[in-house]
Amino acid sequence: MVRHKRIRALGWMSALVASLSAGWVSAAQQIMIQEARIGGDNSFEPAVSAPQMRRLAEVLELNDTQSSLAEEFLREYHRVFREGADAVRERMNEIQEEARATGDFRVFGEKIGPLLETWERDRAQLENEMIDNVRSLLSEEQLERWPLFEREKRRMELLPNSRLGGEDVDVILLTREVSAGDNLAPEIVERLEQYAAELDAALQARQRTIESLEEDWREALGGERERLEDIWNEATRKREAVRDINERYARQISEMLKENADDGDTRGDHLWRLYIERAYPIAFEETRADRMIDGALELESISEDERAMIEGVRSEFEQRLEPLAHRLIMELVKEEKELPPFVQNMRMEGGGGPGRAIGFTMTMGGDEEERYGGLLRERWEASEAAVERLKAVLTPEQIASIHSSEEPGAAQRVMLRGFRFNL
């Protein structure tokens, strides 16, 4: 029998909180952290990373002294940003504790909303100050390149606002990562410039469309499914345009790298493999078998024969995973276009305005159709089978000494998949 939990709450964010038992409050908090900004990008990460700053310095043609100063500005920005983010997280923990202790979950809406709004203003100010400091370094000639800087910065800001696999992959940074400082052929540099210009137009078009749809989307939540689907599909078409540009240029650059490759140069294949892994991380998630096999190979007590058998377990497991990953990618692409079940289950309850309530049904288990065509379960079963084969190679003591727990936050990321409803 399928078990469900019926929810009634004020607004979609409160609905998320109220839908979870008291023991899951920290997961609800994480959802609010990760969905704090419209578009779903992470407001607790600096807007500019070190690799991105190096790219911006390249666009502005900074000299060594200017680049060194720009990096110093970035380090100071990161330091102050982290201090502010930590303070906000601490305050959120205090609000969480208050909600748990009193049972009054309204404090999430009453206190976390204003807290995040203030943080948004503070983080924007920090970013603007850092950018102004970089601009102060420029000569008049370099200032003429500022529109290119703004284009690069715009790509860094808008790409994370993604929903489709591959939509948020920066092919320029990916190419630089694969090349590891090697000079690129002029035709590749030119192709990357074409990519930057074409992507910028698509990103701005996507942003305009989504911003124009957001109010209709909020009003439609809990309403007619046909209206929700129309809005969803319109936003999806703009997202597909961005995703398709990324994929097309990733393929092109991969092929160009292979055409210019010397013997032993695998950058072209490496770039495409990285693109696929970054585009569809769910298809390549680490399994318990991966962790167990890695741990087994690090044991000092294993013999050479045991090492060979462990490598055999790994090889057999990877051969089974490869087709699974490709099938999972196909399912992901298919499901991304569909209105998420979480949104489909929403419904209006009560009146309009601030008193409007949204209800939805949360599936808690049962015999309903599994997501992604049951491929996640198939991968789990393959992992468990590999672990059993590993147990036949090692002693119980060796198995017990291997750390195989998931990294912190993995379970929360899985939970977030079920709450995918940003346009």
Return the higher-pLDDT residue of 346 and 39: 346
Q: Could you report the per-residue pLDDT of 7-65, keeping only the tens digit for each?
A: 333 333 333 433 333 333 333 333 333 333 333 346 788 988 898 899 899 899 999 99
Q: Evaluate if residue 154 carries a pLDDT over 70.
A: yes
Q: What are the structure tokens assigned to 150, written together?
A: 């703004």
pLDDT at 180: 80
Average pLDDT over the chain, rounded to an integer: 82
Residue 103 per-residue DSSP state: -
pLDDT at 108: 74
Q: Could you report the per-residue pLDDT of 215-272, keeping only the tens digit for each?
A: 888 888 767 788 889 999 999 999 999 999 999 999 999 999 998 777 778 899 999 9
DSSP-assigned beta bridge partners for residue 348? 358
Q: Evaluate if residue 1 carries a pLDDT over 50.
A: no
Helix 25-34, helix 410-417: angle, nearest 10: 70
Least reliable range by pLDDT among 54-58, 89-93, 173-177, 412-416: 412-416
Q: How confident is the model at residue 292 (pLDDT cuts 50, 70, 90)?
A: very high
pLDDT at 65: 96
Count of helices and strands (H, E) across the chain: 18, 3
d(CA 402, CA 296): 7
pLDDT at 408: 65
pLDDT at 325: 95
pLDDT at 105: 78
Q: Evaluate if residue 73 carries a pLDDT over 90.
A: yes
d(CA 423, CA 409): 24
pLDDT at 221: 76
Q: Evaluate if residue 394 carries a pLDDT over 80.
A: yes
Query: What is this structure's pTM?
Result: 0.77
pLDDT at 365: 46
Q: Evaluate if residue 141 carries a pLDDT over 60.
A: yes
Ramachandran bin of 382, using left for φ above 0, alpha for ψ from -120 to 50, beta for the remaining angles? alpha
Give the C-alpha distances (Å, rounded to integers) separating 190 from 15, 95, 176, 197, 259. Answer: 49, 51, 14, 11, 16
Q: Quick one: 250 exposed, middle or buried, by C-beta within 10 A (0-12, 13-18, 19+)?
A: buried
- Any idea which residue has 């409803």 for tokens? 421
Contact 25, 410 (CB under 8 A): no
Ramachandran bin of 40, using left for φ above 0, alpha for ψ from -120 to 50, beta for the remaining angles? left
pLDDT at 203: 97
Least reliable range by pLDDT among 101-105, 333-337, 345-349, 354-358: 354-358
